[in-house]
Amino acid sequence: MKKVTILDIAKELNITFSTVARALNDHPAISKSTKEAVKKTAEKLGYSKNKIASSLRSGKSNIIGVLVPSLDVSFFSSVVHGIESIMNQHGYSILLYQSQESYKKEDKGIETLLNSRVDGIITSFAIDREDSTIFEEIISKNIPLTFFDRALYQLNAPSVTIDDYKGGYMATEHLIQSGYKKIVHITETRDLSIFKERLKGYLDALKAYNIPVNEDLILKGNLSLNFGKDCVKELTSRGIDFDAIFTLEDFTAMGVIQQLKSQQIRIPEEVGVIGFANEAFGSLVTPSLSTIDQQTHLMGQETAQLFLTMLKEGSFYKMAPQRIKLDPLLIVRESSKGPQL
Amino acid sequence: MKKVTILDIAKELNITFSTVARALNDHPAISKSTKEAVKKTAEKLGYSKNKIASSLRSGKSNIIGVLVPSLDVSFFSSVVHGIESIMNQHGYSILLYQSQESYKKEDKGIETLLNSRVDGIITSFAIDREDSTIFEEIISKNIPLTFFDRALYQLNAPSVTIDDYKGGYMATEHLIQSGYKKIVHITETRDLSIFKERLKGYLDALKAYNIPVNEDLILKGNLSLNFGKDCVKELTSRGIDFDAIFTLEDFTAMGVIQQLKSQQIRIPEEVGVIGFANEAFGSLVTPSLSTIDQQTHLMGQETAQLFLTMLKEGSFYKMAPQRIKLDPLLIVRESSKGPQL
DNA sequence: ATGAAAGCGCTAACAT
DNA sequence: ATGTTAGCGCTTTCAT
C-alpha cells in the first residue's frame, strides 16, 4: 500500500494538484462539482492528508505542547483531561510531556516541543525550577505560553490558577467558625508560591478572628501521607495543645487522620481536620475528609479557553496578560464538624 | 526574531548547509573541528532544528499516538504516565487523544493521528466499539499498533493486558479461603471482554471449590458507586442470603461498603468485600478495601517496551503477535478478613 | 474557476 | 571530509 498524495487524485481526475489541494481545503473559488469529485476520489484512493507537509509549508502545526509534572498526580491528569477535550474540539492536538518535577527534564521537553514547532505551550512547571529564563525565551520568540496552577507572575504570560490564599483563608475560617481555636497548619519546606499563599491565608484568617499565631503550630516538611503521621506524633509527644489541623493537601491530611485514629483521638470531636485538593478518596474515608476543591475541570477548560483567545489575538505579549484566579470551593465533610461542646 | 536554519549557520561558517546538517546529526564523516564550530554557531544564532522538515523528508516523525478513553480515570492516566516516560527516554514524543469512551471520537482521533504521520499507535479502545475495521486498516497500512488493557485478539497486533480471568479467580478464591461461602459477583451489562473474564474466573473458582453457582448472586449493571449501593439494597430487600461480594471494580465496591455500613451490616464479619483495580482510596477507607492490583506502572512500561521492540523489527505484522498477560496481584486488606466464627 | 511554479527546511544519494 | 543536487507533499502567490 503506497501512499496516496494529492497528485494521485489530480491524475485520476485530469486536473492539477493545486485544484485538488484547494478542493480538499474547501477553498471558495472551487466549484461544487469538482469539490465533490475530488473528495470522492480521495476517499476511493484512501488518501490521508499529510499534516507534516502542510505544517512545513504553512508554518502552523495545529499541535500544542502540554508540559506537566506527572500524570500520576490526579490533579494534573484531570486538568490535562480538560485541556485535551477542549483543544481537540478546536482542531488542535496535544503533544504531551512530563517533567517528573525535574527542571532539567522540563528544559529538554521544552526544547523538543519547540523543535516540533508546536503552536504554543501550556504548562505547570516543575517544583524545583529556580529561574525563569527558559520561559522568557519562549516569550521572546513570540510563542504563546499559558501557565496553569503554578505561574510565574514576573513574566508577561497569562495564567489560570486557583486563589490559594483564599483557599487557605477559607479552610482556616471554616475551622474557626466550627469552634476550633488551636489550629495547626502543616506546610511545605520547598519554596512554591501556592503553598506560601495557603499559609498566608491561614495566618490572615487567624488574625481576622483575633487568634494569636503560635509558631509551634506551624509545621514544615515534604508533603506525604507519612509526613502527616509524623506531624501528629510530634505534636502529641511534645505535648503541644491543639484542636484542629489544616494540611496543605489531602494525602498529608489522610496521614493525620490515620495517626489520630491510631492514637484513639476522636475526629472531629477532639481534633478537626481539613485538607486541600479534594482528592477522590476524601468522600470515601471515615470520617470523610473536609477539604478545599481546586476545580480541576474548570481549570482545564479555562486554561484551554484562555490559550485559544491568546492564539486568536495574533500578537501575543503586547497587552497585560490575563490572569484568571478561580475561586476555591470549601467542601465540608465529617472531619471538621466541630469540637465536642 | 526570524528563524534560523542550517543555511544561516552554513553562511556564517562558509561551508555548505549539508555539512552543517551532518555535523548536527553527528555524522561520522565530519571532522571534530567542524562539528564543534557548527554546534557553537548553532547555539550562538539560537538555532532550533525544525523537526517538521526533517520528518517530512525522512518519513519518520518520532511521534507516537496514544489513544485512551479518558485521563480522568486513574488507571489510564497511570499507564499513560508510564508510556510517556519510557518513550521519552527513547526519543519519542506522545501525541495524546481521548476517546471519552466513544468510538466516533476514537475514529476521528485515529484519523488525526494518521494524518500527523505518527510512527505508531498505542491504544486502549472505547467501551462502545463494535467492529474492528479501523484497526485492521492501521494494520494493513503496516503502521505499528499495540493494545493495552483492552485488546482485540482477532487482530494480529501485540497487546499487554492483565490476566482478568486470573484476577477474578484469585479474588473469589481468596474469599472462599477466608471462609465465605455465599459469594455475590457484581459485573457489567456492557459487553467488554475484561469483565467477562473476571466473571469466568469467579465461576471457575466456585467450581474448583465445589460451590454451586447461584444465578441470584450474579448482578449486572453499569459500574459506579451508586450501582454498588443499589446492589446491596436489592440483595437485602429481596432477602437473598449472601456473605461476601466481589465487584468488578473498586468504586462499585465502595458503594457496597457504604451501603452495608449504613444498614449496620458489619464488614468483614457479616459480609466480606473485595474490589478490582486497586484505586488510591482503597487503603485509606474504613474498613480498608481488599482488591486486585492491575499493575498500571508495569503495564505502561511493558506496553512501551513491547511497542519499541515492534518498531525495531521493521516488518511488523509478519509473525504471530506477542501478547503479554501480566499477573494481577491480590491485595488483602480488612474488608475480606473472614466471617465471624 | 483553475493552472503554473516556487519553496517551506530538512535528508540522503551521489559526487569529488 | 565536504559539496551538489534532488526531492518529501503540501500551501500560496501570481497567472490565465
Of B52, B83, B87, nearest in space to A114 by CA: B52
pLDDT of A140 higher than 70 = yes
Q: Could you say which of B48, B96, B115 has the minimum Cβ distance to residue A51?
A: B115
Q: How many CB pairs under 8 A join A and B?
A: 134
Confidence of residue A312 (pLDDT cuts 50, 70, 90): confident
The CA distance from A121 to A134, in Å, is: 12
Q: Could you say which of A53, A96, A111 has the minimum Cβ distance to residue B56?
A: A53
The CA distance from A175 to A183, in Å, is: 8
In this prediction, residue B341 carries a pLDDT of 65
Output the DSSP codes for B92-150.
-EEEEEE-TT-HHHHHHHHHHHHHTT-SEEEE---TT----HHHHHHHHTT--EEEESS
CA distances from B97 to A155, A191, B121, B122 (A): 30, 34, 11, 10
Cross-chain residue pair B285–A286, CB shorter than 8 Å: yes
pTM: 0.91
Judge if the upstream peptide bond of residue A268 is cis by omega within 30 degrees of 0.
Answer: yes
If you measure CA to CA, which chain A residue comes closest to B92? A112
A253: three-class secondary structure by DSSP: helix
What pLDDT digit, counting tens, does each position of A50-98 carry? 999 999 999 999 999 999 999 999 999 999 999 999 999 999 999 999 9
One-letter amino acid for residue A70 of the chain: S
Residues from chain B that touch A281, judged by Cβ atoms under 8 A, are 280-281, 284-285
In this prediction, residue A234 carries a pLDDT of 97
Q: What is the mean pLDDT of residues A129-142?
A: 94
Segment 193-232 of chain B within 8 Å of chain A by CB: none
Partners of A247 in the β-ladder = A186
pLDDT of A341 higher than 80 = no
Which residues are CB-contacts of A46 (< 8 A; sequence separation ≥ 6)? A1, A4
In this prediction, residue A254 carries a pLDDT of 95
pLDDT of A1 higher than 60 = no
In this prediction, residue B139 carries a pLDDT of 95
Give the residue nearest to nucleotide D2 (CA to C1'): B19
Q: What is the mean pLDDT of residues A176-186?
A: 97
Q: Could you say which of B63, B98, B111 has the minimum Cβ distance to residue A81?
A: B98
What pLDDT digit, counting tens, does each position of A91-128 carry? 999 999 999 999 999 999 999 999 999 999 999 999 88
Spatial contact of A164 and A130, defined as CB atoms under 8 Å apart: no
Residue showing cell 467492529: B131
Q: What is the CA radius of gyration of chain B?
A: 26
Which long-range contacts link A102-108 to residues 24+ away (Cβ below 8 Å)? A102/A126, A102/A128, A103/A128, A103/A129, A103/A130, A106/A67, A106/A134, A107/A134
Q: What is the mean pLDDT of residues A220-227?
A: 92
The CA distance from B267 to B274, in Å, is: 11
Q: Which residues of chain B have pLDDT under 70?
A: 1-2, 341
Percent of chain A whose pLDDT exceeds 90: 89
What pLDDT digit, counting tens, does each position of A253-285 carry? 999 999 999 999 999 999 999 999 999 889 989
In this prediction, residue A201 carries a pLDDT of 98
Query: Which helix (H) or strand (E) covers residue B68, if one does?
Result: strand B63-68
Confidence of residue A223 (pLDDT cuts 50, 70, 90): confident
- What the block records as the C-alpha cell of B300 is 505502561
Strand C contact with B56 (CB < 7 A) = yes
A105: three-class secondary structure by DSSP: helix
User: Rounded mean pLDDT of chain B?
Assistant: 95
Instruction: Give the nucleotide nearest to B29 (CA→C1').
Output: D1
